[in-house]
Amino acid sequence: MTDPDVIIVGSGPAGLGAATTLRGHGHSVTVLDREPQAGGIPRHCGHYPYGLREFRRLLKGPAYAARLTATALVTGVQIRTNTTVTALHPGPRLSITGPDGASEISAKAILLATGTRESSRAARLIGGTKPGGILSTGALQGMVYLAHQRPFQNPVILGTELVAFSAIMTCRHLGIRPVAMIEPGARTTAPLPTAIYPRLHGIPLHLNTTLDAIHGSTQVTGVTLRQGSRIWDQPCDGVIISGQFRPDNALLTTSHLTMDPATLGPEVDQFGRCSDPGYFAAGNLLRAVETAGYCWAEGRAIGHAIARALSGDLPSGPDHKITTSGHALKYALPQRLSPGTDAALPVLQLRVTQAIRGQITLTTNGQSTAHQINALPERRITLPLPSGAGPAHLHLDPEP
């Protein structure tokens, strides 16, 4: 088999968006996915709203994933499912394994689009025992929509990001009745009107509340909740540990590519180009977490950038770091600015670590511009992309 021009790792919205775009430029493209079917996380989400940006139609997740996949296949993209990438090498070259065993594959350029996952119970150091019935939203949705299984009847839901409301919809699909929704912060992370969704379904929402311990031996029997000095036991038979998404960066951590400790994704320039210019990255691997439509558009833009790189049209040259300071500023993406215009990442994407009102100062080439923000964690903040003529620095000053 001859090597394709481009290999894309991950067949979610970003990977398939890029694949279809690259085919449009006449390049041969192979998409690898470790799952048995292409489509990525939307396959797990058997509910609306997907597809408005891409197809101008309101679709459920699986239908949307199928449509993205079909669109890619029609344009001549090769998709290899059940294929797991086990290592990234300079070249660029990949070690892979599939049902037939281990092998290697090379291309002129490789796009990493491995997406995101929720943080586990272990990563959050939640106490208690380890019974059955503790699931991330992704695992729950996989069980309900892909395997048609019911893991519990009356779970509590930890977290109030958008995905937690997706968990409620998934539960309702099977008549599973969550008994409580737990949020450590003072307000729900997801914006209105989503935030009133649990109340509509009669699910008590406990703000300023932590999940201290999980009880049960074979199956969850309850949880201990704490709100200030009030501590109580909530009976339940499952726990949905939702949100706190992080890039699925396992391949990066053991590779030669430079990672950003703030995003936990690869360090990229405004074309999605990694520290090894043979590698590009797109979608939620860059940062957690954006919607499917956003990732699809990002994949397409970075697909164009890869096409430019393959035709020698993507400038390379000295690049400049974008640095940040101020304790509440979590990250800025991209992390580097290369020469050249028509950026694939057209704006600076920022996130904060806490609810904050203040001023962000962007300094580049001795020139400063100030931007007022009033931001919450996990919400998108964007600023105009600096010119790239010199290093850029971002500083966040909270309002006194």
Partner 1 sequence: MPHTPAPFDIIIIGAGVIGCALARRFTLDGAKTLILERAPDILDGASKGNSAILHTGFDAPPGSREQACIAAGYAEYLSIHASLGLPLIRSGALVIAWTEAEESLLPALMDQSRANGVDDIEPLTATQTRAIEPQLATTARASFRVPREYLIDPWSAPHAYLLQALANGAQLRRNCTVTGGAFDGSHWHLDTTTGPATGRIVINAAGNHGDLIDLMLLGAKDFTIRPRKGQFIVYDKPAAALASHILLPVPNKITKGIVVCRTAFGNLLVGPTAEDQDDRDTATLVPETLRALQTRGEQILPALAGQEITAIYAGLRPATEFKDYQIRAHAGRSYITVGGIRSTGLSSALGTAQHVAALAQSFAQTTPLPAPITPQTSNISESAPRDWQCPGHDGIICHCELVTRREIAAALTGPLSVQSLAGLKRRTRVTMGRCQGFYCAAALATLTRDHFATPMATPND
**Contact partners, residue 372, CB within 8 Å, separation at least 6:** 358, 359
Identify the H or E element spanning 372: strand 367-375
Residue (28 or 275) nearer to partner 1, CB: 275
Residue (57 or 130) nearer to partner 1, CB: 130
Tell whether residue 146 is a contact of partner 1 (CB under 8 A): yes
Nearest distance in Å: CB 210, partner 1:
9
Out of 254, 367, 374, 382, point to the residue binding partner 1 (CB under 8 A).
254
Cβ atoms of 136 and 41 closer than 8 Å: no
The SS3 assignment for 138 reads helix
Residue (136 or 188) nearer to partner 1, CB: 136
Number of Cα atoms under 13 Å in the Cβ half of residue 264? 18
Tell whether residue 138 is a contact of partner 1 (CB under 8 A): yes
Q: Binding string to partner 1 for residues 207 to 236, with x set by CB under 8 A, is what?
A: -----xx---xxx-----------------
Tell whether residue 205 is a contact of partner 1 (CB under 8 A): no
Q: Tell me whether residue 210 is exposed, middle or buried, using C-beta atoms within 10 angstroms of its C-beta: 0 to 12, 13 to 18, 19 or more.
A: middle
Tell whether residue 169 is a contact of partner 1 (CB under 8 A): no
Contacts of partner 1 in 27-56 (CB under 8 A): 34-36
Give me Rg for the CA atoms of the chain. 22
Cβ atoms of 121 and 20 closer than 8 Å: no
Nearest distance in Å: CB 290, partner 1:
18
φ, ψ dihedrals at 172, nearest 5°: -60, -30
Tell whether residue 10 is a contact of partner 1 (CB under 8 A): no
Contacts of partner 1 in 83-102 (CB under 8 A): 84, 86, 97-102
Q: What DSSP line would sit under 199-267, residue for residue?
A: HHTT--EESS-EEEEEE-SSB--EEEEEETTEEEEEE-SEEEE----EE--HHHHTSSS-B-TTTSSB-
Out of 66, 73, 169, 174, point to the residue binding partner 1 (CB under 8 A).
174
Residue (78 or 97) nearer to partner 1, CB: 97
Give the interface with partner 1 as residue ranges (CB under 8 A): 34-36, 82, 84, 86, 97-102, 117-118, 120-123, 125-130, 132, 135-136, 138-139, 142-144, 146-151, 174, 212-213, 217-219, 246, 248, 250, 253-254, 261
